[in-house]
Amino acid sequence: MPKILVTGGAGYIGSHTIIELIKQNYKVIIADNLSNSDIRVLDGIEKITGIKPEFHKIDFADTKATKDFFDKQKNIDTIIHFAAFKAVGESVDFPLKYYKNNIFSLINILENMKKNMVKNIVFSSSCTVYGQAERMPVTEKTPIKKADSPYGNTKQIGEDILMDFGKANPNFNVVALRYFNPIGAHETGIIGELPKGIPNNLIPFVTQTAIGIRKQLQIFGNDYNTPDGTAIRDYIHVCDLATAHVAAIDRLKNKEKFGNFEVFNVGTGTGISVLEIVKEFETVTGQKLNYKIVGRRKGDIEKVWADTKFAEKQLNWKAKRTLSDALSSAWKWEKTIYNEQMTMNK
Ligand code: UFG
């Protein structure tokens, strides 16, 4: 089976994608600098799949290290490039850190792809490229607005770099996936999201509040122009997001038919408000959540959800799991890490 290099493979979306790749018999190599991930995820992958993929600790923003790494690799068929910084707020405070890491790494990888004749790349983009769109749902043709954060800008620039690279190098193939909001964890509760410090994202904050690590969830704003006043997002189960990468690899096998640069929305097609998340979490888990409404968070948009028709038709892919599946898996995972922590502290 083809060999897939997964950069950022020890991270949240990367690790779940690796499970799906192994299920489809792909040979996986992981490369990660572990700056925002934990090597123990490899044990989790092994526990779930029976296979411990080859691992390399490497920082792709380092040009020499990247070259040395690729020079030793043989027969990589496709790269799935997850490795990037992803905290929107942090990117506003430390823009150069974001531009340097996210853009240098992409350029280094593309240069080495070319040199070593690695033909295919799947790029982690984000629905953040749309900003606050005028019309919902957003399609792949919805105009791209000026990015709201350096993080978002690295995704827009990343797509542009890949498009130009594709034009100049017709033998190389690119699929960019615009992720909506990934949530949840593997259904076994063995792997999941591991936020460092206080979580920025809604679901880890919800589960940490429910388990007692955080006192109270703050809901950022209930004065949006939405049915209940709270902001709306398209929350996709991380395992569904993972299968979209397998579909993207299949697509790359047929590039002659489709051109060598394509972009797809990867969401569920349904918009859910923050209050709906809270209510669904309470129903699914039986946990009462302590929350209060506070002011809007700077930089947040009011609403976004995906038009998924293009991905459904062209990738033959659709999100299958429900919001309830996602929230119960996130809760199961939170309990796993909490119990692990308790045992370690004893
Ligand atoms: N929210 C709260 N309280 C919290 C955390 C979040 O009310 O403690 C709200 C936010 O205001 C927002 C919603 O929950 O309305 C979702 O917030 P997240 O931080 O979970 O996700 P974002 O939509 O802000 O950001 C995510 C990813 C980014 C990506 C972006 C694209 O984290 O990487 O989606 O829209 F760029």
79 CA → ligand 1 middle, Å: 28
User: Does residue 56 carry a pLDDT above 90?
Assistant: yes
| Cα–Cα distances in angstroms (integers) from residue 58 to residues 11, 109, 272, in the given order | 14, 12, 37
For residues 316-344, average pLDDT: 95
Question: Which residue has a Cα nearest atom 35 of ligand 1?
Answer: 128
Report which ligand 1 atom has the smallest distance to the Cα of 296: 11
User: Does residue 256 carry a pLDDT above 80?
Assistant: no
- As given in the structure block, the two tokens for residue 102 are 């996210």
Report which ligand 1 atom has the smallest distance to the Cα of 232: 15
Strand partners, 260: none
Q: Residue 215 class from Cβ within 10 Å (0-12 exposed, 13-18 middle, 19+ buried)? A: exposed
DSSP label at 130?
G
Report which ligand 1 atom has the smallest distance to the Cα of 151: 36
Confidence of residue 103 (pLDDT cuts 50, 70, 90): very high
Report which ligand 1 atom has the smallest distance to the Cα of 87: 33
For residues 49-68, average pLDDT: 98
Is residue 231 in contact with ligand 1, taking CB distance under 6 Å?
yes
Confidence of residue 77 (pLDDT cuts 50, 70, 90): very high
217 CA → ligand 1 middle, Å: 13
Is residue 178 in contact with ligand 1, taking CB distance under 6 Å?
no
219 CA → ligand 1 middle, Å: 11
DSSP label at 288?
P
Is residue 214 in contact with ligand 1, taking CB distance under 6 Å?
no
Integer Cα distance of 219 and 300 in angstroms? 12
For residues 194-211, average pLDDT: 95
For residues 100-105, average pLDDT: 98
Model pLDDT for residues 12-43, shown as the tens digit of each residue: 999 999 999 999 999 999 999 999 999 999 99
Residue type at position 245: H
The pLDDT assigned to 344 comes to 85
- In testing the pocket of ligand 1, which one of 274, 278, 279, 291 has its CB within 8 Å of the most ligand atoms? 274
- In testing the pocket of ligand 1, which one of 202, 290, 300, 303 has its CB within 8 Å of the most ligand atoms? 202
Beta-carbon contacts of 60 under 8 Å, excluding residues fewer than 6 positions away, are 7, 31, 33, 66, 83, 104, 105, 108, 109
For residues 185-192, average pLDDT: 97
- In testing the pocket of ligand 1, which one of 220, 234, 238 has its CB within 8 Å of the most ligand atoms? 220
Is residue 153 in contact with ligand 1, taking CB distance under 6 Å?
no
Asked if residue 281 lies in contact with residue 322, where contact means CB atoms within 8 angstroms, the answer is: no
Is residue 206 in contact with ligand 1, taking CB distance under 6 Å?
no
Report which ligand 1 atom has the smallest distance to the Cα of 152: 36
High-pLDDT (> 70) share of the chain, %: 100
**Location of structure tokens 């982690």:** 124
151 CA → ligand 1 middle, Å: 13
User: Does residue 255 carry a pLDDT above 80?
Assistant: no
The pLDDT assigned to 340 comes to 87
The pLDDT assigned to 253 comes to 86
The pLDDT assigned to 203 comes to 98
User: Does residue 7 carry a pLDDT above 80?
Assistant: yes
* Candidate from 52-56, 92-96, 254-258 with smallest mean pLDDT: 254-258
Strand partners, 273: 232
For residues 257-275, average pLDDT: 94
Is residue 21 in contact with ligand 1, taking CB distance under 6 Å?
no
Confidence of residue 206 (pLDDT cuts 50, 70, 90): very high
Asked if residue 6 lies in contact with residue 16, where contact means CB atoms within 8 angstroms, the answer is: no
The pLDDT assigned to 292 comes to 98
Model pLDDT for residues 142-177, shown as the tens digit of each residue: 999 999 899 999 999 999 999 999 999 999 999 999
Is residue 222 in contact with ligand 1, taking CB distance under 6 Å?
no
Is residue 88 in contact with ligand 1, taking CB distance under 6 Å?
yes
Model pLDDT for residues 217-238, shown as the tens digit of each residue: 999 999 999 999 999 999 999 9
For residues 58-68, average pLDDT: 98
Is residue 218 in contact with ligand 1, taking CB distance under 6 Å?
yes
Mean pLDDT of the chain: 96
User: Dihedrals φ, ψ of 217, to 5°?
Assistant: -85, 135
Active site residues: 151
Strand partners, 57: 32
